[in-house]
Amino acid sequence: MENGNIRPLEDGIEKDLTGLNYGSYLQLDTLLAAQAPLSTHHDEMLFIIAHQTTELWLKLVIHELRSAMALIAADSLGPALKRLARIKHIQKQMTDQWSVLATLTPSEYAQFRGILGKSSGFQSMQYRLLEFLLGNKNAAMIAVFAHHPEQQQILQAALDAPSLYDEFLLFLHRRGYAIPAELLDRDRRVPHTLNAALVDVFTGIYDAPEAQWDVYETCEELIDVEDTFQTWRFRHLKTVERIIGFKRGTGGSSGVAFLRRALDLTFFPELYAVRTEIGR
């Protein structure tokens, strides 16, 4: 019988946690020891955990995105769509996180901002890698990671390789779609730019979705990924504006102005341009 509010352990619950257990499997001793504030200010812990958690989510997005790209390259569209669907839900989680960091007021942040030195989210290798995989290639960014040759190699490999959109266009070519030849054999190190002939290809897909539903659905999944990524960017911008106004970033960027320019970038321009053509 239960005694008041005390609930006895069920008979089958493990009490000998020697060996593999919840804490050891997740390496919680290491994970929970990774928060090392440099000040005595209460709110620095929030700042550290918010950014560390974002890096963990970025790691998962990259894991899923690389898998999706490999599946598309292998003409396995169904499982790739599952990966892309998961990515957009992760991105929504990342976006919601900004609301927690936004509870940090300018006065609170000012008390420990000075100890950050030149540290900045601009220096996140994982964020840069994600942008490269999505197609926002910029070779100049690799120089930022000269202090870490291994990270530079990872970024260089992603710079040289096809992006998610490149892989999708190659897939469409294998399916028999009239993908412009200049997009099939192009310099992968530069961002893709709007191609009018490709807009025509997507217009045909959107005009008859029932005849090519898997391709049509992939187009919409790509839009979802970009939409949720841009929403994350926007919440980043507004959180920074809310906390530091228009100060320069700790890493030397122009801060809010720099983040605002990023909102003008697009990964899949034809998938947005086609929306103007539908129904004409």
Point out which residues pair with 6 in neighbouring strands: 3
The Cα–Cα gap between 198 and 201 comes to 5
Chain length of the chain:
280
Burial of 94 (0-12, 13-18, 19+ CB in 10 A): buried
**Four-point Cα dihedral 271, 165, 195, 183, nearest 10:** -150
- Phi then psi dihedrals of residue 203, to 5 deg: -60, -40
Burial of 170 (0-12, 13-18, 19+ CB in 10 A): middle
Burial of 68 (0-12, 13-18, 19+ CB in 10 A): buried
Instruction: Tell me if 236 is assigned to a ligand binding site.
Output: yes
Instruction: Tell me if 109 is assigned to a ligand binding site.
Output: yes
Q: Which amino acid is at 132?
A: F
Q: In the structure encoding, which two tokens stand for residue 114, read together?
A: 């000075």
Q: Which amino acid is at 229?
A: F
Instruction: Tell me if 113 is assigned to a ligand binding site.
Output: yes
- Phi then psi dihedrals of residue 83, to 5 deg: -65, -45
Cβ–Cβ under 8 Å, residues 139 and 189: yes
- Binding positions for heme are 236
Please state the residue numbers annotated as binding site for substrate: 109, 113, 250
Binding residues: 109, 113, 236, 250
